Amino acid sequence: MAKESLKIPQKIPTHLAIIMDGNGRWALEKGLPRLAGHQAGTENLREVIEACGEFGIQYLTIYAFSTENWNRPPEEIQGLMKIFRMMLNRELNNLHEDGVQLRHIGRLDKIDQELRDKVKEAIQLTKDNKTLILNIAFNYGGRDEILHAVKQLMEDGHKAEDLDEDLFAKYLYTAGSPDPDLIIRTSGEYRCSNFLIWQGAYSEWYFTSTYWPDFGREELHQALTVYDQRERRYGEIQNIKDV
């Protein structure tokens, strides 16, 4: 079936970030195990990646697994790792052919060796692609990222007087990516959940009650339409009426 033609908003975020929330609740409401929701959320990701390319988004960061998610039941963690491994095995070549460059943000140290090797393989294979930069936040936490950056700065011998925002940003996991213009959170929750704490300081936020497995091309278009109507001020006064 042909896709419905959608008018692309005039103002498109260069960098979109998404907290993909609601997989478990989606599954439970359908009488399915939670892992079925995570699987459905993975299947849905392909449509969103394609839509980002269609709408002209250059960077996409997805929150796949947080440093706090290790506190979930062991069987769910094992299932998530299996799903992520299967997704990489199945989609890597397709993403590469579509010009998607895969990057990992977060830590690899707690991930099993097989998956760690697969992530490194995906990064190496796609490193020269330019169509879309896909940052996968896996075993990622914003506080952990900031602490890691501070430790690295100290280990590299930087002094307090050397430090500014530009230097600090070079030590973040997202070095090389612009700060997100828009952050979307699905499932109706209203919190940042330790995601891109530094980078999201001036991001626009869009919240939707739609669970992630149901968030597709049309939902993304709606979020971009709302973003197009926003006025980003960065603390400044844009119009005299705002005084």
Average pLDDT over residues 196-215: 98
For the chain, give the percent of residues with pLDDT over 70: 96
Closest-CA residue to 179 (of 193, 188, 161, 166): 166
**Beta carbons of 18 and 63 less than 8 angstroms apart:** yes
- pTM above threshold 0.75: yes
Distance CA 105, CA 176 (A): 11
pLDDT at 188 over 90: yes
69 is catalytic: yes
Distance CA 221, CA 51 (A): 8
**Which candidate in 69, 98, 129, 214 is catalytic?**
69
Higher pLDDT, 237 or 243: 237
Average pLDDT over residues 91-103: 96
Average pLDDT over residues 229-238: 78
The chain-wide mean pLDDT, for the chain, equals 94
Average pLDDT over residues 169-188: 97
Average pLDDT over residues 47-73: 96
What was the pLDDT predicted at 200? 97
- Of 3-7, 25-29, 89-93, the range with the lowest mean pLDDT is 3-7
pLDDT at 220 over 60: yes
**Beta carbons of 180 and 202 less than 8 angstroms apart:** no
What was the pLDDT predicted at 77? 93
Q: Go through the domains of the chain in sequence order and give each one's CATH number.
A: 15-230 (3.40.1180.10)
Strands 182-185 and 100-105: unpaired
**Beta strand spans in the chain (E):** 15-19, 59-66, 100-105, 132-140, 182-185, 204-207
pLDDT at 242 over 60: no
Average pLDDT over residues 173-183: 97
Residue 105's pLDDT band (cuts 50, 70, 90): very high
181 is catalytic: no
* Beta partners for residue 5, in sequence order: none
